[in-house]
Amino acid sequence: MAVETTDSAVEHPAVTTEGRRLLTELVSIPSVSGNETEAAEALAAFLEQNGRETYIDDIGNVHAPGDDTVLLTSHIDTVPGDIPVEIKEGEEGPELWGRGSVDATGPLAAMAVAAVETGASFVGVVGEESTSRGAWHLIENREAPEAVINGEPSGWDGITLGYRGLLEGTYVATSESGHTSRPDPNAIQHAMSWWNRVEDTFEPDEWIPVFEQVTTKPVDIEGGVSVDGLSMDATMEFQLRVPPERTPEEVRELSDAELETGTVNWTEFIPAVMTSPRTEVARLFRVAIRKQGGDPRLLRKTGTADMNIYAEEWGCPILSYGPGDSNLDHTPHEHLSLAEFDHSVDVLIEVCEQLGVEQPDDHTSDETTESKS
């Protein structure tokens, strides 16, 4: 395998393999959602240099068609945040610090290496941290594989079987402007009142795991007197996380029932996913983790991922896997143990080989034809 870069972190003595080199290079390239081009090109170059037919589609996803017994896929983009890229000595050896090292450049690089070694199909998708536009584009432009391994941090000895679903929306209210001494509620108060009722509807229960509850979160709010001075406006964007026991439609109806003033525009409906630990893919992961000396952990995550979309649309065996502590996602402390990265690569290769993945002879694929750029 070969990949070229001159970044100082890549020249660190701990970067002893081409997989670690790819990981460090990709973490060194800023790839916030909407600005993934440079990282996508570096990823494509790695795949091409290692003999894989590779192309970038018209939305920015990086494809390396191969054996569709399993599709290895993770996301290229990260959330914003400038964390200096450097390798520090940790309790268990060298650690790579930098935005995306955990979520999800670590899993992405591990899957790219495993794809090169085994011949498995691979796609690096864009936009997971925003609208999942890469995942939606993927399912619209290729046939379902036999199985999917979605790259997200689970720890090298963990596999993620479930994610909660997601409802997103925007609440908007308008009221006449007036003196603040008046008792009549204004648009901002209407927004606050509706949201308080929604929170009461899904009040947290400390005796029930978070994964099994609906949780509510406002993510942006704006309000005040309009430009012409004649009205008061309020706009609030929010998210509701939905457990497998409830449907997005049910949660939406309960939220709408609390609406007395204003309107809600629902913009995202992604169902929860919970897969069986008894699938052949899950079994092979447990075997591979034990072979590396680990004790397999089965995880459920309170967030939402591209896995939800693939499970809903393709209906094939699926789980999420990748190196890294998900508690570090999106934090200023994001870093990844290089030894953990190595373990995850070995686990992925073992699983692909046990599934019967073969190196492609003629670079053919079940993928439909897409425009290449």
Do the annotations mark residue 233 as ligand-binding? no
How many whole angstroms separate alpha carbon 317 and alpha carbon 315? 7
* CB contact burial 173-210 (16+ within 10 A = b; e otherwise): bbbebeeeeeeeebbbbbbbbbbeebeeebeeeeeeeb
The one catalytic residue in 67, 77, 95, 157 is 77
The one catalytic residue in 57, 95, 128, 334 is 128
- 365 three-state secondary structure: coil
* In the block, residue with structure tokens 């809903």: 312
Is residue 128 annotated as a catalytic residue, yes or no? yes
Do the annotations mark residue 103 as ligand-binding? yes
Do the annotations mark residue 330 as ligand-binding? yes
CA 119 and chain centroid, separation = 23
* CB contact burial 302-332 (16+ within 10 A = b; e otherwise): bebbbbbbbbeebebbbbbbbbbbbebbeee
CB atoms within 10 A of CB 347: 28
| Six token digits for residue 64 | 């390396």
Is residue 77 annotated as a catalytic residue, yes or no? yes
How many whole angstroms separate alpha carbon 343 and alpha carbon 4? 23
Do the annotations mark residue 190 as ligand-binding? no
Are 153 and 307 in contact by the 8 Å Cβ rule? The answer is no
Pairing of strands 86-90, 148-151: unpaired
Active site residues: 77, 128
Could you list the residues known to form a binding site, using ranges. 75, 103, 129, 152, 330
Residues annotated in a binding site for Zn(2+):
75, 103, 129, 152, 330
